[in-house]
């Protein structure tokens, strides 16, 4: 488990750095497009597609990091003092998330593969590179979800030993 956690730590750091760089690139390109269009009257046609590429990748890589850090929205059905029941619900939610991620990865890969047959309009790059963010981000989400699931199952199994009841 420690090796798996260490692997996920490395992936998380890489994704965090890439997400920040992509977000900065996205914002800079959009800012430049606005400046060039409004001040100089020049439209940078490539900027729309490159900013979309940066945005797609930043969202899916950042989403994977958010999943690992448990930063996504959660609905608390029961008060905090129902620790064991909440742990069981967490395990169930991880399993549901893994099913959704499965669909994400499989159909995201198929969508990306179809995109490699079509070129983007202004930068003449295969559109598959845009959509490859789906299965890559989804695969990382799967790794992170498996880690969280294992940790929550371990906490649930060791619940009596922790003395939290």
Predicted confidence at residue 161, as pLDDT, reads 66
Predicted confidence at residue 162, as pLDDT, reads 58
Helix/strand/coil for 132: coil
Helices of type H across the chain: 2-35, 45-68, 83-115, 128-131, 133-157, 159-162
Across residues 67-96, what is the average pLDDT? 90
For the stretch 123-164, pLDDT in tens is 999 999 999 999 999 999 999 999 999 999 999 999 866 555
Q: Could you give the percent of the chain with pLDDT greater than 90? A: 85
Predicted confidence at residue 75, as pLDDT, reads 77
For tokens 């991620």, name the residue: 101
User: Rounded to whole angstroms, how far apart are CA atoms 15 and 97?
Assistant: 20
Predicted confidence at residue 98, as pLDDT, reads 97
């Amino acid at each position: 488990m420690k090796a798996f956690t260490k692997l996920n730590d490395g992936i998380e750091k890489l994704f965090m750095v890439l997400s920040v760089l992509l977000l900065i690139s996205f914002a800079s390109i959009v800012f430049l497009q606005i400046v060039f269009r409004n001040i100089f009257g020049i439209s940078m046609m490539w900027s729309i597609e490159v900013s979309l590429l940066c945005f797609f990748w930043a969202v899916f890589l950042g989403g994977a990091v958010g999943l690992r850090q448990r930063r996504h929205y959660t609905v608390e059905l029961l008060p905090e003092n129902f620790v064991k029941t909440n742990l069981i619900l967490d395990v169930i939610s991880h399993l549901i998330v893994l099913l959704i991620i499965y669909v994400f990865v499989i159909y995201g890969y198929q969508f990306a593969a179809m995109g490699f047959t079509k070129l983007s309009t202004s930068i003449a790059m295969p559109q598959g590179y845009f959509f490859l963010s789906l299965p890559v981000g989804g695969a990382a989400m799967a790794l992170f979800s498996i880690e969280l699931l294992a940790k929550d199952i371990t906490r649930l199994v060791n619940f009596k030993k922790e003395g939290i009841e």
